[in-house]
Amino acid sequence: MEPDISISTPNVPKVSGIILAAGISSRMGRPKQLLKYKGKTLLQTVVDAATSSVLDETIVVLGHKRELILQTTDFSGVRVIVNKNHAEGQSSSIRAGLSGVSENQNAALFLLSDQPLVTPDLIRTILERYRKTRAGIIVPVENGRRGNPVLIDRKLFEDLKRIKGDTGGRSLFDHHKNDISFLEVPDKGIHIDIDTPDDYQQLLQS
């Protein structure tokens, strides 16, 4: 009798995707989440990559211009959390995102709403490394440069929640340097985030 492959293997860790999309886009001058790229907004592109990947659930953290984003983005199958404290910086959005992670999830992969070149294949590669190593932190690297998205194991969630200000999980790296797995990938998309009008023009011309 053939095994039922539709039943998930209990030993395979579950990973949530948390998309950080609450920022005010101060250097762009307009909501960069809603900038168009190949017929979609930047945020929709990232949401679609996450939901079509092997992530077990997807959470999106909204803040600035949330009503407009809710009206113009398809969040089917996605859990949306509003970070009313988004002005406090990215750390507040990280905490908001972690609050939405289901109890049975083993880790979270943090995606940025302005990184439209992150693909489902890249997400799968990061999750495969996590499943092999169960490292506390998985960081993609291309040509010697660290990039995003970064995966954080649940055992570090409490440390992550204690971070303050406009900073991400990289402040954990020094404290947990022996629990980091650096994953070399041939993908320049891990470095490309859209912060300024020049960044956006370069993306459109690429």
Q: Is the entire prediction scored with pTM above 0.85?
A: yes
Kindly list the domain boundaries of the chain, sorted by start residue. Answer: 15-205
Say which CATH class 15-205 falls into.
alpha beta
How far apart are alpha carbons 79 and 66 in whole angstroms?
Answer: 14
pLDDT higher than 70, residue 3: no
The tens digit of pLDDT for each residue in 77-129 reads 999 999 999 988 899 999 999 999 999 999 999 999 999 999 999 999 999 99
- Going by C-beta distance under 8 Å and a sequence separation of 6 or more, which residues neighbour residue 71? none
